[in-house]
Amino acid sequence: MNRKIIKPYGDTLNDGKMQLSFALPVSCDAFGKEAARILLIQMGFDSAEITGMRDLNEGFTHFIAYAATSVGVDTSKIKVKVVETPVMDMETTDTFIAEHLGRKITVVGACIESDAHTVGIDAIMNMKGYNHRYGLERYHGFNAINMGAQVPSEELLAKAREVQADAILVSQVVTQKNIHVKNLTRLIELAEAEGLRSKMLFVCGGPRISHELAIELGYDAGFGTGSYSTDVASFIAITVAKQNV
């Protein structure tokens, strides 16, 4: 494979220039600015210039910096695990489900445990949709049940069992102290203990979720930042149809 080294683009191609933003526990003055610059040089940047600073009060300052790196990435060596099913629009997915299954696909979704962030799961499931894509509730081919946020794992599994769901959709947005990993692991362990894991697809999502992490945690797929209902609907429809062959 041909090596292809890329570097950040600032002013001219491959000049390595990056904009950085960070906070330090220093005063908002010449001393703090120099501390920020030295930090960047110690991090390995070839040059660093502090172009903005803002007093955050109580001895903290926020900095904006431009720094240049000589480090590049060889894109020919990159391997990532991604969901490989093709992405269909809503109408095509509905037609696919009608033709391949002849029944609705039932999905139950929730943001589990202490996590109160509903916007992500709503973006995928809500009738109104997100960024010009309707959510699963709008699809003819889906019976979509959105249980909202702060749903205990036990309740999500009980609902999935009650409605004989084809798929469970779990959202985790808060990742402090890896709470998302703990919650997602516990849900899978409970599902295994209750004999549910093999009966339905388990799909998780959130800003720090990758497909690779999802697979590692025992899920069928994971969707991170920038995912849409169309990605999830296509994955579920195609996978459920394959299992029904």
What residues make contact with ligand B12 under the rule CB under 6 A? 109, 114-121, 123-124, 130, 169-171, 173-176, 203-207, 223-227, 232
Residue with Cβ nearer ligand B12 (75 or 225): 225
Q: Using the 8-state DSSP alphabet, how is residue 223 labeled?
A: E
Least Å distance, CB 120 to ligand B12, is 3
Distance of CA 48 to the CA centre of its chain: 32
Angle at 79 between CA 239 and CA 238, to 5 degrees: 10
Element (H, E) at 23: strand 17-24
Sign of dihedral through CA atoms 63, 68, 69, 75?
positive
157 half-sphere exposure, CB direction, 13 A CA radius? 19
Which residue out of 128, 182, 199, 242 is catalytically annotated? Answer: 128
Least Å distance, CB 195 to ligand B12, is 22
**Where do the DSSP E strands lie in 26-126?**
47-57, 60-68, 73-74, 105-111
Residue with Cβ nearer ligand B12 (69 or 183): 183
Residue with Cβ nearer ligand B12 (38 or 116): 116
Least Å distance, CB 72 to ligand B12, is 29
CA distance 40 to 227: 33
Least Å distance, CB 177 to ligand B12, is 8
Residue 128 a catalytic site member: yes
Residue with Cβ nearer ligand B12 (48 or 203): 203
Residue with Cβ nearer ligand B12 (45 or 223): 223
How far is residue 201 from each of residues 42, 77, 87, 236, 241, measured CA to CA in Å? 47, 31, 18, 8, 12
Least Å distance, CB 189 to ligand B12, is 19
Which residue, judged by CB position, is nearest to ligand B12 in the bound state?
Answer: 205
Of 33, 179, 49, 29, whose CA–CA distance to 111 is shortest? 179
What is the C-alpha R_g of the chain?
Answer: 23
Catalytic residues: 128
